[in-house]
Amino acid sequence: SSLRVVYAFAREMHPKTTDVFIQYGTAGFRTKANLLEHVVYRMGLLAVIRSRVKNGRTIGIMITASHNLEPDNGVKLIDPDGEMLEQSWEDIATRMANVSDNDLESITGQIIKEVNADMSLKASVYIGMDTRYTSPRLAAAAANGVIALKGTPKEFGIVTTPILHFCVKCRNDNTYGVPTEEGYYEKIVGSFKRIRQKLSVSGDYNTTLYVDGANGVGGKKLNIIKKTLDGELDLMLFNLGGNGGKLNLNCGADYVKVSQSVPVGVEHVPYQRVASLDGDGDRIVYYYVDDDKKMHLLDGDRIATLLASYITELLNNCGANSLKLGLVQTAYANGASTKYITEELKIPVSCVKTGVKNLHHEALKYDIGIYFEANGHGTVVYSNEAKNTLKKIDEDGDAEQRKSAQILLDFINMTNETVGDAISDLFLVETVLCARGQNITGWETTYQDLPCRQLKVTVQDRNAIQTTDAERRCISPEGLQERIDELVCKVESGRAFVRPSGTEDIVRVYAEGDTQESADKLAEDVAQAVR
Ligand code: NG1
Ligand code: ZN
């Protein structure tokens, strides 16, 4: 049969060359790039099966290892609404990835039966990749997998992860936009320009923004966008991948956030705001350096509170107070941000387990759900109810109400609701700062972060650590939580937790305290307790 040929082809073209077990984790499969070719080929097969289970709707495959260094790569699947792959399929993906070449045919057949896929249907798969030199080869393997099961691949070449999510969503729901890179610019950047025409640049806001592109795809795309801007924003782009700059090496959002220091490759002018992106353009943090060259970080929590307060203001102005707005964070959210949201903004906040899919799904429970990881991955999602309410106000409201409703509708259009998106988030932040006539220090004064520290600990078996309460407490190994409690007690405003990473073979330690010294010491003491 033709399937026979397919599997023979797999063995020859994309053979499994390793016996190391690989798991579909929080960010799909991620490991050294040279161990991934067979995995990606098989994800091509699986994407076709998934597309058929979804009645021929388009599925996405993104080749990226995000903020990891150049030698790594990864692959993740995108579901029809532009969301992360449904959780129950993660195990199926893991089975597909680990089966031997000899058993690939029978396991694939078994899975097709289990998920009840009608293999006579059409199947459509969108494939995108980041700038890694190993990505084109992997994207080709994915396309081969799609073709093998008679699906139709469409390759987008080098795109940010959120651009691919956006295109998948648009292909399956044409009310959302046009499923091309240009369609993305048209919607996101077009809305930004439209809003700018309604606002005036005033107060302390300055249109100059520096950007650290992490030597990845996000900076490259901003370079395209930059040429279409008309003075609304003056982008000064750094770390675009030229001049020997290495992807994510001592630069990018993850580096800035975790090391709490400025990236290499960026010119630093005191008080100039800088946006730092990660390697695949789905995370963003802001920072500036002061006169003493001290870095001030405005992370994902800070972006979330900025957006939440602005949206709340617009909702009040247009009289749409019945819409329920909520914020979603993880245990990594700075305690000061949670306090500010609850006590000052008086917005409900929930805490979920690390991993974008968890945040996204929790956010969908609100009419307007704002979710951000402290590391800068996040977005806002709006229910149909919210969108319809605002459209109605735009038609029936008084002049003041209509004005706010229109700004909010543009704000929604500027948002990539499918997933956290550095480019979209950048335009959202710039819009709020402009609307408020605020500079980065003005934004910073809303609350003061508690000093914090993140550490990585290498252990024999990271899964020996099991957690509960949205990862804020651990239930095994025995005695560890008691020890952490003892250490936390000794620190003013102390908080600490540990959890196994879903993307690296390490345990992550997080600690907060009233001073940097106490946070550092608490993190070190907890790390010691884990070792
Ligand atoms: P792990 O390695 O599970 O901590 C990291 C990030 C997540 C998420 C994923 C996917 C932290 C502490 N963790 O997960 O928030 O972004 O990568 O990229 O930042
Ligand atoms: Zn990323």
Length of the chain: 531
Q: Nearest C-alpha to atom 12 of ligand 1 is from which residue?
A: 332
**Ligand with smallest separation from the Cα of 254:** 1
Three-state SS for 398?
coil
- Ligand 1 atom nearest to CA at 257: 19
Write the CA distances from 319 to 323, 384, 399, 402, 406, integer angstroms. Answer: 10, 17, 12, 10, 13
- How does pLDDT run across 298-327, given as a tens digit for each residue? 999 999 999 999 999 999 999 998 999 999
For residue 443, give the amino acid letter: W
Expressed in angstroms and rounded, the spacing between residue 134 Cα and the centre of ligand 1 is 22
Confidence of residue 4 (pLDDT cuts 50, 70, 90): low
What is the tens place of the pLDDT at every residue in 70-108? Answer: 999 999 999 999 999 999 999 999 999 999 999 999 999
Among 460, 20, 434, smallest CA distance to 231 is for 434
Pocket of ligand 1 (CB under 6 A): 26-27, 66, 332, 354, 373, 375, 377, 501-504, 508
Closest CA to 166 of 44, 83, 232: 83
pLDDT average, residue stretch 362-383: 98
Q: How far apart are CA 397 and CA 161, in angstroms?
A: 38
Mutate to test the pocket of ligand 1, among 258, 351, 373 (most ligand atoms within 8 A of CB): 373
What is the band of 2 on the pLDDT scale with cuts at 50, 70, 90? low
Please name the residue that has the structure tokens 């992807």. Answer: 247
Ligand 2 centre to CA of 254 (Å) is 9
Which residue shows structure tokens 């540990």?
498
Give CA 79 to chain center in angstroms. Answer: 15
Percentage of the chain beyond pLDDT 90 is 95
Residue 5 in this model has a pLDDT that exceeds 70: no
- What is the reported pLDDT for 503? 84
pLDDT confidence of 64, banded at 50, 70, 90?
A: very high
SS3 per residue for 143-199: HHHHHHCCCEEEEEEECCHHHHHHHHHHHHCCCCCCCCHHHHHHHHHHHHHHHHHHC
Cα(365) to ligand 1 centroid in Å equals: 23
Mutate to test the pocket of ligand 1, among 353, 354, 472, 504 (most ligand atoms within 8 A of CB): 354
Residue 504 has pLDDT above 60, yes or no: yes
Ligand 1: distance of its center to the CA of 375 in Å? 8
Confidence (pLDDT) at 12: 79
Residue 469, CA distances (Å) to 307, 352, 478 in order: 26, 8, 16
**Predicted local distance difference test score (pLDDT) of residue 222:** 98
% pLDDT > 70, the chain: 98
What is the Cα–Cα distance from 71 to 387, expressed in whole angstroms? 43
For 189, half-sphere exposure in the C-beta direction (CA atoms, 13 angstrom radius) is 20
Interval 463-486 mean pLDDT: 97
Atom number, ligand 1, closest to the C-alpha of residue 66: 18
pLDDT of residue 229: 97
Query: CA-to-CA distance for 37 and 398, rounded, in angstroms?
Result: 59
Whether pLDDT at 176 is above 60: yes
C-alpha 352 to ligand 1 mean position (Å) = 13
DSSP state of 84: B
**Residue 499 CA, ligand 1 centroid: distance in Å:** 11
The pLDDT confidence band at residue 200, using thresholds 50, 70 and 90, is: confident
- Which is it for strands 234-238 and 452-457: parallel, antiparallel or unpaired? unpaired
Ligand 1 atom closest to 374 (CA) = 19
Mean pLDDT of 470-482: 97
Instruction: Give the model's pLDDT for residue 8.
Output: 67
User: Residue 267: what residue type?
Assistant: E
The two three-digit tokens of residue 233, written as one number:
């924003």
Is residue 350 part of the annotated active site? The answer reads no
Q: Which of 1, 2, 51, 66 is catalytic?
A: 66
The ligand 1 atom nearest the CA atom of 332: 12
pLDDT digits (tens, 9 = 90+) for 322-338: 999 999 999 999 999 99
Task: Give, for ligand 1, the residue of 284, 299, 503 to mutate: max count of ligand atoms closer than 8 Å to Cβ.
Answer: 503
- The atom number, within ligand 1, closest to the CA of 454 reads 12
Extract the tokens encoding 514. Answer: 């009233």
Predicted local confidence at residue 26, as pLDDT: 86
Residue minimizing CA distance to atom 5 of ligand 1: 503
Judged against a pLDDT cut of 90, whether residue 243 lies above it is answered with: no
Distances (CA, A) of 293 to 271, 289, 305: 10, 5, 26
Distance 6 CA to ligand 2 centre (A): 33
**Closest residue by CA, ligand 1 atom 16:** 355
Tell me which residue has its CA closest to atom 11 in ligand 1. Answer: 375
Judge if ipTM > 0.85. yes
Answer with the residue of higher pLDDT: 5 or 294. Answer: 294
Atom of ligand 1 minimally distant from the CA of 499: 4
**pLDDT value of position 1:** 53
pTM of the model: 0.96
Q: 24, 26, 358, 507: which to mutate for ligand 1, most atoms within 8 A of CB?
A: 26
Query: What pLDDT does 7 receive?
Result: 67
Residues 6+ apart with CB under 8 A from 86: 79
pLDDT of residue 242 exceeding 90, the answer is no
- Region at 243 (left for phi over 0; alpha for psi -120 to 50; beta for the rest): left
**Cα-to-centroid distance, 373 and ligand 1 (Å):** 9
Nearest ligand to the C-alpha of residue 257?
Answer: 1
Extract the runs of DSSP E, i.e. beta strands, from 24-104: 29-32, 59-63, 72-78
